[in-house]
Amino acid sequence: MTWYLKPYGLPKPKINRDYTRLIWNGKHYAPGTYNILKGTSITASISIKNEGDPGKVRVVIWDSYENKAIFSRDMDMSAGQSTDVSHTFTMDRNYAIKIITYYLDPADNTYKKYDEYG
């Protein structure tokens, strides 16, 4: 008898838009572009669910104005797993915030964009 391992597919880290928010001054906002006073503390609260197979995912808080990451976290997620990620930063300039998720494609060992919000 020959045994075959079922190859896994890829993770699908979907952003839960109902629970992903930017929070400052006690109010909640969807990711996007806002005029906020410099020195304001902002918390990004991000909720994601892996709607695919187990694997490595990356969550990024992206600033479109500077075209660079403000924050990034890599993690292993099992199939169907939901998780929350948060990061607090202080406004030192204007930002245009997006939340982006990626999955690691083992075929070429690179992260590929899956979902974007903002």
What number is the average pLDDT over the span 92-108? Answer: 91
Residue 8 has pLDDT above 70, yes or no: no
Point out the least confidently predicted range of 1-15, 62-76, 96-110. Answer: 1-15
How much is the pLDDT for 1? Answer: 47
Can you list the domains of the chain with their CATH numbers?
13-117 (2.70.50.60)
pLDDT in tens, 25-42: 999 999 988 888 889 999
Give residue for tokens 């197979």.
53
Task: Give the chain's largest Cα–Cα span.
Answer: 68
- Indicate the pTM of the whole model: 0.89
Angle at 39 between CA 102 and CA 42, to 5 degrees: 35
